[in-house]
Structure 1
Amino acid sequence: MRSPVSDYLAEVLEGCAGDTSGANADYIPELARADSDRFAVAVATLTGYVHGAGDTDVMFTMQSISKPFVHALALQDRGLPAFLDKIDVEPSGEAFNELSLEEGTTRPRNPMINAGAITTSTLVGEPDSTLAHRWERILGGLSAFAGRELEVDEAVFSSELETAHRNLAIAHMLRGYDTITEDPEAVVANYTRQCSLRVTTRDLALMAATLANGGVQPLTGERVVDPPVVREVLSVMTTCGMYDAAGDWVTRVGIPAKSGVAGGIIGALPGQVGLAVFSPRLDEHGASVRGVRVCERLSQEMGMHLMEAPAPARSVLRESGVREVDGIGTAHVYALQGMLQFAGVEQVLHDLTEEPPSTPQVVLDLSQVYSVNSVGRRMLREAVRRLGLDGLTVHVVDPEGMLD
């Protein structure tokens, strides 16, 4: 059977293709010359399968889409306290290339705007890393997110560096406040090089899926960064990834995202999918016009908005009732399923409290459970202990060792 997903994505592209408003980024000559009619969308699952439509194999440069991934590497290498010592995580409400710092601390306001991203690039690797070693770490790390070796588009790099006057001004401002301590021109060159990495829409969807998958690359199985790092990065993407349009984006789309001035947008929906869109014409915020429209439609039609997540408490308890169980006899069986977190486990404990088991034998069946977080695990262990204190015999069916 041919999957209908790619056909649906092609239909979405066709529905959004008529919007030809906006324009290519004109302050970077190579981007200004890009084909404005290129259009693609890709959705990557956490098993590594990529559905796509349009120009999914056309190469373009990451630009600011590199920021959340370098942010992740910096957090992985230095830790959150050291990172926050240099860069805040508050929305700026300003354009991405504004020459401004946080009043009082002189930190960049977040790692998604250029001042923060330039600083972030200096926090990758060990504190005594050279610029060359730091670049190798950035290149290797972003390649690990993509699942293949990435390369710099030298033409875009040269074009962008020749016109990087504003980023140089930002870097000199940062050096003036000792936020960075290295040569501003060398730092900007490294930053520009990361922005000039060539990717396809398919690559970006897999990179986003790595974030959605808790830091594990779906195709290679490599853990690129740890789960706490992913949580921090996705949080900042949600509040700051779309710059001064972040509030509107969260309201209308509701997916942690990042845009780039080459026309790409990524979105990472935790535990579900990574998505990417490519269309070079930009709006006044520096985001792809048609890309934003595609993301709005996917969010609405596919239920991808973060605030539409189903309540786990309603679906955790698959079965509750008395029946005959082989080797045990008559028992009250509680069969759980899915992901067990506080809300779902609390519902189970509420049921156990309000309607205690009607037989002395109790079976807690976790065979259909695929994940238990730490608080859920502690709550279930305590429930088993207290049922035992009440004189009941509890049999735990736990083939995957979820309570270990």
Structure 2
Amino acid sequence: MRSPIPDYLLEVLDSCGEDGGAVADYIPELAAADPDRFGICVATVDGTIYTAGDADVEFTIQSMSKPFTYAIALADRGIDALNERVGVEPSGEAFNEISVERGTGRPKNAMINAGALLTHSLVDGDDSAAQSERVRAGFSRFAGRDLVVDEQAFVSELASAHRNLGMAHLLKAAKTLDCDPVEIVRGYTRQCSVKVSCQDLAIMAATLANAGVHPLTHETLLSRPVVRQVLSVMMTCGMYDAAGDWMTDVGIPAKSGVSGGVIGALPGQVGIAVFSPRLDSHGSSVRGVEAFERLSRDMGMHLMDVAQEGRSALRGAYVTEGDDPMTVYEVQGDLRFAGAETIVRAIAEGEHETRRVALDLTRVYRLHDVGRRMLLESVRRLGEDGLEVVLVDPECALPEAADVGSERLTVVDSLADGTAST
């Protein structure tokens, strides 16, 4: 069976409007971006990648670099030490506002430019070049491949970095920044000029969603306390002066960038990245925000919509014995997107040498809307593939199955009934 998830992602891209917003024009290299590019990638915490559209097109990471540099600095300095230098409060201001806290001289958080400049200065390294290389190498480990700096974009952005230079000199005057403001702006600009794709960003976000363990290499890159700190600041500060709207409408820890990307990390489930260069008044991708709203609504991804418990959704998969064997998938628990995706993937990857496939919902005690729709689509596609489907549903958890309209579907109350129906 072919998984329905890539088709759904294509539908999301098709449903998001093309009007509104404009590419960033204060950086010449960004002003030349193709405004019609649109890509999306969803990476699960166990390493499955789903893409649609321009997911492999590279662009500069820009402000989406901030959570990852913050993570590196937290790992280098420790959470308490970093909190003394950079705050964690939402600023309520635009990303490039020139401001610091009164009395302390601290930037309000690490997601606005002032905080990101200071955070970059706190990464370990003997000099600015060493710090920049540590950041680039760290990003590469998060992405699972060697990332490079777009030198042309770096030169273009550095030439117009007057506002960031003003912030850096303000931090220096407030005695918050210890080193040369010009060198820090140079290093931060290189950080923002690292080239990534949607797929890179989704994998990087999935590493945060997976408590710091890389979903593909299985390497532990960050400690759990560091990940919790990063995700918390992303949730409250990552979308700048639109953070409140984002929290209520989307509810996923996120970060945007003026190149047109938006990343989200849903703890324990997925990393998501969307790319579309046209920006809104907050400096976030218009279609990227719309796509995240759609994903959150359709897939039940809002962080405050808490599952009752997180047991494994796939209890077992096996083939029955007898003259007419049957491939059985036993489903259990509270089925949301991540759990349903596990089931859908197992079915999609199954060899199915039997003519019949059973989906046993006996131990399912809650089916969220996204889980219901994904299971129904799987039942439909199995029928299209020419397989007989037996739905074991004693509690009528999936009453809509009767509407699938497949003559190859049989609904029974027990697996024994399904075996007897041959």
Normalised-by-shorter TM-score class: 0.7 to 0.9
Where 2:199 maps in the other structure, the secondary structure is helix
Amino acid in the other structure paired with 1:103: R
Where 1:85 maps in the other structure, the secondary structure is helix
Separation (CA, whole Å) in 1 of partners of 2:124 and 2:224: 19
Separation (CA, whole Å) in 2 of partners of 1:219 and 1:294: 25
| Alignment correspondent of 1:41 | 40
Q: CA deviation at 1:221?
A: 1.3
Amino acid in the other structure paired with 1:101: V
Separation (CA, whole Å) in 1 of partners of 2:290 and 2:233: 22
Instruction: Deviation per CA, 1:278-314: give whole Å up to 9, x if none.
Output: 000000000000000000000000000001121229x
Amino acid in the other structure paired with 1:171: A
2:187 is equivalent to residue 184 of structure 1 = no
RMSD: 1.7
| Alignment correspondent of 1:359 | none
Instruction: Deviation per CA, 1:205-247: give whole Å up to 9, x if none.
Output: 0000000000011111111111110000000000000000000
| Alignment correspondent of 2:53 | 54
Q: CA deviation at 1:338?
A: 8.1
| Alignment correspondent of 1:107 | 106
2:241 is equivalent to residue 255 of structure 1 = no
Q: CA deviation at 1:134?
A: 1.2
Separation (CA, whole Å) in 2 of partners of 1:244 and 1:19: 24
Amino acid in the other structure paired with 1:36: P
Separation (CA, whole Å) in 1 of partners of 2:291 and 2:152: 29
Q: CA deviation at 1:20?
A: 2.0
Amino acid in the other structure paired with 1:9: L
Cα pair 1:20 1:281 within 8 Å, conserved: no
Amino acid in the other structure paired with 1:218: P
Cα pair 1:63 1:194 within 8 Å, conserved: yes
Separation (CA, whole Å) in 1 of partners of 2:255 and 2:60: 14
Separation (CA, whole Å) in 1 of partners of 2:289 and 2:58: 20
Equivalences for residues 4-19 of structure 1 within 5 A: 4-16=4-16, 18-19=17-18
Amino acid in the other structure paired with 2:103: G
Where 1:246 maps in the other structure, the secondary structure is helix
Amino acid in the other structure paired with 2:9: L
Equivalences for residues 62-211 of structure 1 within 5 A: 62-125=61-124, 129-211=126-208
Instruction: Deviation per CA, 1:88-107: give whole Å up to 9, x if none.
Output: 10000001111110111110
Which of 306, 309, 333 is the equivalent residue of 2:306?
309
Which of 250, 274, 279 is the equivalent residue of 2:276?
279
| Alignment correspondent of 2:2 | 2
Separation (CA, whole Å) in 2 of partners of 1:161 and 1:180: 19
Please, which runs of 5 or more residues in structure 2 have no aligned partner? 313-331, 335-422
Instruction: Deviation per CA, 1:315-345: give whole Å up to 9, x if none.
Output: 79xxxxxxxxxxxxxxxxxxxx989xxxxxx
Where 1:306 maps in the other structure, the secondary structure is coil
Where 1:21 maps in the other structure, the secondary structure is coil
Where 1:151 maps in the other structure, the secondary structure is coil
2:224 is equivalent to residue 227 of structure 1 = yes
Cα pair 2:96 2:112 within 8 Å, conserved: yes
TM-score, normalised to structure 2, is 0.73
Q: CA deviation at 1:19?
A: 2.9
Where 2:304 maps in the other structure, the secondary structure is helix
Give aligned pairs, total: 316
Where 1:152 maps in the other structure, the secondary structure is coil
Cα pair 1:269 1:306 within 8 Å, conserved: yes
Separation (CA, whole Å) in 1 of partners of 2:189 and 2:219: 27
Equivalences for residues 333-348 of structure 1 within 5 A: none
Amino acid in the other structure paired with 1:119: L
Where 2:63 maps in the other structure, the secondary structure is helix
Where 1:271 maps in the other structure, the secondary structure is coil
How much identity, in percent, do the aligned residues show? 63
